[in-house]
Amino acid sequence: MNHNTVICRADKGNSIVVLDKKDYITKMEVILQLKQFKFTKQPPLISREKSMNMYILKLLNDNVIDKETYYRIHSSCSSYATMYGQSKIHKLNYPLRPIISSIGSYNHDLSKYLYELIKNNRPSKSFSYIRDSFEFVKKITGIQNSADQIMISFDVDSLYTNVPVHEAIEITLDMLFKRPTPPPIPFTRSQLKRLLKIAVCDIPFRFLDKIYIQVDGVATGSPSEPILADLFMYNIEYKLNKFSTNKPLVWIRYVDDIFCIFKKQ
């Protein structure tokens, strides 16, 4: 075994990447210098797990959740989430995408539960949403090209890391509770807000032998991360479509990749 290399998956495509270990660690440490991450000398795992379990027990005792749900999201003998990097081999200098794997962490099962709850009670998908490249081809087939149109494609830089997590939570809560008919979920707005904050805010994780906290953004690797980021993007698209005077003729989004067509003027 060569201890001077790191073997990891590529960020896109079914590929395996072999990296120099020193280069890998250097790139990861640059990421950890971003404002979204903070080093801590006081490991918070035990206190976080205890606090979460006490609140879940309160929900059980108040008959908000049943025993099945309690045991599903309750945590014991948890470990830290773990950060690692996936190489973006399709980009210059092969930067790393930070992944925080929450499997085995105290809030992993809670995050999975909340993902399913939000997914099953969210409104219909965004007008821009596509599942894959096949649906993209179907959507653009038949679009008439014109000399007075301009085609643009772009992506959101590090979407998950840059999503303001507290704003994303409020958007999610508004989507669920500001309706003529509230969805059939067992929680009040304040209860669900607290559970979401436990699941996605100030996440402690480990990289090598050091402990950090993600103080903003949603962790790539958290089960609830995709839907919070998607609802955040949906909210931006809704506002752009409502208030923009130069509305796009076409606007299609896959996660953070956007394709659009505008009139040139």
pLDDT in tens, 183-236: 889 999 999 999 999 999 999 999 999 999 999 888 788 899 889 988 998 888
Which helix (H) or strand (E) segment holds residue 11: the answer is: none
Buried b (16+ CB within 10 A) or exposed e, 115-143: bebbeeebeeebebbbeeeeeeeeeeeee
Contacting residues for 244 by C-beta, under 8 A, at least 6 apart:
none
Q: What is the pTM of this model?
A: 0.87
pLDDT of residue 261: 86
Find residue 17's DSSP bridge partners.
8
Of the listed ranges 23-37, 72-86, 202-216, 227-241, the least confidently predicted one is: 227-241
Count structural domains, the chain.
1
Q: Determine contact, residues 200/225, Cβ cutoff 8 Å.
A: yes
Range of the domain at 118: 5-263
Q: pLDDT higher for 65 or 222?
A: 65
- Helix axes 225-243 and 108-121, enclosed angle (nearest 10): 40
